Structure 1
Amino acid sequence: MLLGFVGYKAGMTHVFMIDDRPNSPNLGKEIFVPVTVIETPPLIPLAVRGYTIDGRGELQALTEYWIKPPKELDIKRKIFSFNYSETRARESLDELSSKLERMKVLRVVAATQPRLVPGLGKKRPDVVEIQVTGGQLKAQLDYVLSLLGKPLEVKDVLKEGQLVDLIGVSKGKGFQGAIKRFGVMELPRWHKHRKGSRKVGTRGPSPGTPSYTPQPGQLGYFRRTEFNKRILKISNNVEEVNPKGGFISYGLVRNWYVLIEGSVIGTKKRPIFMRYPIRPTWEPRSIPQFTYVSTLSKQGVGI
């Protein structure tokens, strides 16, 4: 099985569901839950990459095998130096099979299809690596080779009710001062501050962090990981989630989508990588039961 999938953040709404969290004071009752809608067009697996472990205990790419990408994917928009050769592909497949005993990890290189999401307004695909798990490496290789070049849906990788880790890029806030960036205290304004009050009092070493001083600089647009977010629903019935007029700054959802409990990092249209949790805090044992999904537009249409 594969351990991850990629989607695009569309927006937020809210649902009413039956609380099924163990030890919850509202267990069995109807609760209000804010959710984030992530549209998940099918991925196209393009390659399999084998990794070994070097002398320092780190993963090192050993070999890889690529297929010819579909023409409509236009992979050269993302990988400018990509050139496919059938002779080189056959040699790579033979090399992959011969070096299977030296490999420790197999990963799939897959590309998204942003052309299927008109709200994104882009054609360049996003390329990601997805790790394969379960069984022996020979079985994993046979499974991956059967996937190459075929559309892969989110329902084939993730399931409703499970926990996932979300990897994405946070909202960019540009160049900011030390007060907004680190939350340091503003200097008292009743003094005559020749150089302003929204600055650090001293740039010398501090007791807590002797080698670090808060400074102005870039805030946001960082790669971040959110752990243990729950998938509440996976569906292709877009009428259940599309508001009248579409999501603000995004439009209508037209493909399979995932409802994530709570908020999600990043702005709308940003790719979000959903993977199986590496340190789950609890294990959901049931599929969430919905009583209401809001489709009221945030633009005021249909209210």
Structure 2
Amino acid sequence: MGHRKYSAPRRGSIAFRPRARAKSLEARVRTWPQMSGEKAALLGFAGFKVGSIHVLTIDDREKTPNFGKQLLNAATVVAVPPIKIIGARGYKTDLYGQHAIFDIYAKDLPKELARRVEVKQAEDAQAKADAKVAEASSVVAIAAISPSAVDISQKKPFVFELAVSGKDARAQYEFVKGILGKEVRASDIFQVGQNVDVFGVTRGKGVEGPITRFGVKRKQHKSRKSVRAVGTLGPISPAVVMYTVARQGQRGFHQRTEYNKRILVMSNTEKDGSINPKGGFKHFGLVKGDYIVVRGSIPGVPKRLIKMRHPIRNVPKKVAEPKVLEVVVE
């Protein structure tokens, strides 16, 4: 260890601590972008990961060596069935954070929703919500998406909140009330060529050692007893093991956020059925209905819920539609 006598870079990032299993299969969206504009709109959507394909495009990034040339992009297909707006919730912000002050729900709720939540709404809930909107700092939409819409065997739907853009809580409330009980499609929120932020839970790997989990170097063959163990756990005093020391533990099944994934294709299998390979996608099957193709990879396994939102970093002023030459489905 003579080359590391005085100092050495640490192995593995501390940025993702704790590396524990995610609490739920459904990823949480903790922050929403502040969209400019007078018109209120939903800021996110959800879908189910399908699989990977390749998309041949013309590179339209002006400051790259490949500008104007053909570019073969690794891409991911996401099935995006319509989501149903089942309710609205108002939040009031004080010194202790946000607190829900009212909920209203649509009258004709899906039957399978009873598997997830029990909705009991008073008759005067609408009137109370109208009166409390003045106190609210923000209003969000409560949405539901059913896995059975894309032929996934799970009957229990996913229920989550979607932020709404708007100049104030009153405008957000009126917008959500207008789409209450209606279905919203991905094409109503996103457009081809724009970037989206993707939230998902990664593929679980189980318990791994420090070599795989943190990239610690293997010890030489003359080392005592072990090769795939950490060289030292720390000094003899104080007699504690610091949290920064690489140890074995859970790897994978973590919630992760990936920023600025460009939408290359947004279509429907009724218009374009060529998205499905022969025999369907591995571990998913045939895509039916709406789908989008996102450039790059997406965390998680096929059939896992994926949440998307408008980008929060490096928002471009103008959205340019990509020049797609061919969708390569193997």
| TM-score between the two structures when normalised by the length of structure 1 | 0.88
1:96 to 105, 129, 154: 129
Cα–Cα, structure 1 residues 248 and 27, in superposed 2: closer, same or farther, change >3 Å?
same
* Residue aligning to 1:190: 222
Which amino acid counterpart does residue 224 of structure 1 have in structure 2?
R
Cα–Cα, structure 1 residues 23 and 173, in superposed 2: closer, same or farther, change >3 Å?
same
Q: Does 1:61 align with 2:100?
A: yes
* Residue aligning to 2:169: 137
Which amino acid counterpart does residue 62 of structure 1 have in structure 2?
I
Which amino acid counterpart does residue 227 of structure 2 have in structure 1?
S
Cα–Cα, structure 1 residues 18 and 205, in superposed 2: closer, same or farther, change >3 Å?
farther
Q: Does 1:84 align with 2:117?
A: no
Query: Per-residue CA shift, 1:38-96, capped at 9, x if unaligned?
Result: 0000001111011121204x322222112245344x112222xx0434xx1x3322222
Q: Secondary structure at the match of 1:249?
A: coil
Cα–Cα, structure 1 residues 26 and 113, in superposed 2: closer, same or farther, change >3 Å?
same
Which amino acid counterpart does residue 307 of structure 2 have in structure 1?
F
Q: Is the 8 A contact 2:204 2:252 kept in 1?
A: yes
Which amino acid counterpart does residue 137 of structure 2 have in structure 1?
K
Of stretches 121-130 and 133-142 in structure 1, the one that deviates more from structure 2 is 133-142
* Residue aligning to 1:243: 277
Deviation of the 1:285 alpha carbon: 3.1
Aligned length in residues: 284
Query: Per-residue CA shift, 1:237-266, capped at 9, x if unaligned?
Result: 341311111101101110110110011111
Measure, in 1, the Cα distance between the counterparts of 2:164 and 2:297: 28
Measure, in 1, the Cα distance between the counterparts of 2:76 and 2:199: 14
Measure, in 2, the Cα distance between the counterparts of 1:185 and 1:294: 39
Measure, in 2, the Cα distance between the counterparts of 1:175 and 1:29: 44
* Residue aligning to 1:257: 291
Of stretches 62-71 and 11-20 in structure 1, the one that deviates more from structure 2 is 62-71
Q: Does 1:43 align with 2:73?
A: no
Measure, in 2, the Cα distance between the counterparts of 1:272 and 1:169: 8
Deviation of the 1:219 alpha carbon: 0.9
Which amino acid counterpart does residue 64 of structure 1 have in structure 2?
D
Q: Secondary structure at the match of 1:172?
A: coil
Q: Is the 8 A contact 1:45 1:110 kept in 2?
A: yes
Cα–Cα, structure 1 residues 224 and 23, in superposed 2: closer, same or farther, change >3 Å?
same
* Residue aligning to 1:117: 150
* Residue aligning to 1:290: 324
Deviation of the 1:97 alpha carbon: 1.5
Q: Is the 8 A contact 1:205 1:211 kept in 2?
A: no
Deviation of the 1:166 alpha carbon: 0.3
Query: Per-residue CA shift, 1:141-173, capped at 9, x if unaligned?
Result: 121112111111110111111111000101100
Q: Does 1:153 align with 2:185?
A: yes
Cα–Cα, structure 1 residues 61 and 141, in superposed 2: closer, same or farther, change >3 Å?
same
* Residue aligning to 1:75: 113
* Residue aligning to 1:274: 308
Q: Secondary structure at the match of 2:101?
A: strand
Which amino acid counterpart does residue 124 of structure 2 have in structure 1?
E
Deviation of the 1:139 alpha carbon: 2.4
Measure, in 2, the Cα distance between the counterparts of 1:69 and 1:201: 63
Measure, in 2, the Cα distance between the counterparts of 1:48 and 1:154: 19
Q: Percent identity?
A: 36
Unpaired runs of at least 5, structure 1: 297-303
